[in-house]
């Protein structure tokens, strides 16, 4: 295994801060030229969300809206947007963070903004994301995150008060929590061979105990269901900056399959942000077709599962031959299965079929080992 080089790059907040300053400069130039200030914002309406076949992810189309002082509504919206940009820039400069809820309450102090409900500030944050093409985490407006990482990777924090502090993901037997600080930290060193994203925490812990990081050089990331944006940022960076292949392990059901697809190609809701998806990532399993192949106990798809499959059939990402076959198998057999079902094939306590048979076979099948 070769030692991956240290990541030397501009931090994500620094990048976002420069973009915000550039936005402010444009407004200043307009005012200096006695022009009514205005900004062009990529439209986030449903009819402007398209699936880019080349990028293999949802992106915004070419439609945009112009927000300016041409009318009262436009002037109010622009004022709110520029206030959010100002707060974001101050957060970056001071290395402080806030949440969407905190931002809303802070806005109530600015009476001229005439903000009545949180939906208004939330919308302005999403518009700022669309203008800058970066997620709000990079300008320090953070969500409630979930997810854990474990493996041979040393990172160095870049946030104020912790700059230069390093964390070795191997130092915590239950993994290190993934938040914006970890997702944006500099990569110092790693000799991992690939990233294995795991849907369930219990399975994640099981794989740590089975020493997948030693046996295969796996860097394990647990998402706790649908991956948070911080987890998706970290996964993408590991793939792009360190060149690590990414494999995804979920339950064999419509929801697990979609967890994998969101990591691979993003979501419609986040179509205005391209840096959340990892198009080269692969769904390793638990495939629908694996249920009978590996002869594990299954459950019956319920009406909610079936309705979800009907929705996924209309999603252009599932036009791929492989995913179409998985959907058809689910619908034809009306079966699903959990990762824990592999425990039915364990012959010895502490030595699991999942880690010792299924995963090695799947990794070989996808060319990871």
**Does 12-139 match 190-365 in CATH topology?**
no
Count CB-CB contacts under 10 A for residue 169: 22
Burial of 31 (0-12, 13-18, 19+ CB in 10 A): exposed
Global pTM value: 0.83
- C-alpha distances out from residue 206 to 50, 252, 258, 273, 351, Å: 39, 18, 23, 34, 10
Active-site option among 104, 105, 247, 318: 105
CATH topology of domain 12-139: Arc Repressor Mutant, subunit A (1.10.10)
Collapsing DSSP states into helix, strand and coil, what is residue 15?
helix
- For domain 190-365, say whether CATH 3.40.1360.10 is its number: yes
- Locate the domains of the chain by residue range: 12-139, 190-365
CA distance 150 to 231: 13
105 classed as catalytic: yes
User: pLDDT of 255-301, one tens digit each?
Assistant: 999 999 999 998 877 888 878 999 999 999 999 999 999 999 999 99
Residues of the chain with pLDDT under 70: 1-9, 350-351
Q: Are 267 and 210 in contact (CB under 8 A)?
A: no
Count CB-CB contacts under 10 A for residue 334: 15
């Amino acid at each position: 295994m070769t030692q991956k080089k240290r990541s030397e790059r501009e931090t994500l907040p620094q990048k976002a801060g420069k973009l915000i300053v550039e936005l402010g400069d444009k407004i200043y130039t307009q005012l200096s030229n006695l022009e009514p200030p205005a900004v062009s914002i990529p439209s986030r309406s449903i009819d402007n969300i398209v699936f880019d076949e080349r990028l293999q992810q949802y992106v915004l189309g070419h439609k945009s809206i112009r927000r300016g002082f041409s009318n009262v509504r436009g002037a109010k919206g622009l004022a709110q947007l520029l206030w959010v940009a100002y707060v974001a820039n101050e957060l970056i400069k001071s290395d402080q963070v806030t949440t969407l809820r905190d931002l809303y309450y802070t806005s109530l102090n600015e009476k001229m903004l005439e903000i009545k409900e949180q939906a208004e500030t939330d919308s302005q944050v999403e518009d700022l994301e669309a203008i800058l093409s970066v997620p709000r985490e990079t300008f320090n407006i953070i969500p409630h995150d979930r997810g854990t990482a474990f493996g041979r990777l040393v990172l160095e924090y870049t946030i104020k008060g912790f700059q230069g502090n390093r964390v070795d993901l191997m130092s915590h037997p239950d993994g290190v929590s993934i938040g914006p600080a970890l997702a944006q930290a500099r990569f110092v060193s790693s000799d991992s061979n690939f990233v294995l994203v795991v849907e369930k925490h219990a399975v994640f812990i099981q794989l740590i105990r089975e020493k997948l990081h030693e046996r295969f050089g796996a860097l394990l990331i647990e998402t706790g269901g649908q991956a948070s944006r911080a987890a998706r940022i970290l996964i993408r960076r590991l793939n792009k900056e360190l060149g690590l292949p990414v494999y995804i392990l979920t339950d064999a059901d419509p929801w697990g399959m979609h967890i994998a697809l969101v990591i691979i190609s993003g979501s419609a809701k986040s179509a205005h942000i391209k840096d959340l998806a990892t198009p080269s990532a692969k769904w390793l399993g638990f495939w629908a077709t694996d249920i009978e192949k590996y002869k594990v106990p299954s459950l019956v798809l319920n009406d909610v599962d079936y309705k979800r499959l009907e929705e996924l059939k209309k999603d252009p990402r599932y036009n791929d031959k492989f995913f179409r076959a998985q959907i058809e198998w689910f619908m034809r057999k009306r079966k699903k299965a959990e990762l824990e079902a592999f425990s039915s094939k364990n012959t010895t306590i502490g030595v699991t079929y999942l880690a010792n048979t299924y995963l090695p076979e799947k990794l070989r099948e996808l060319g990871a080992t």
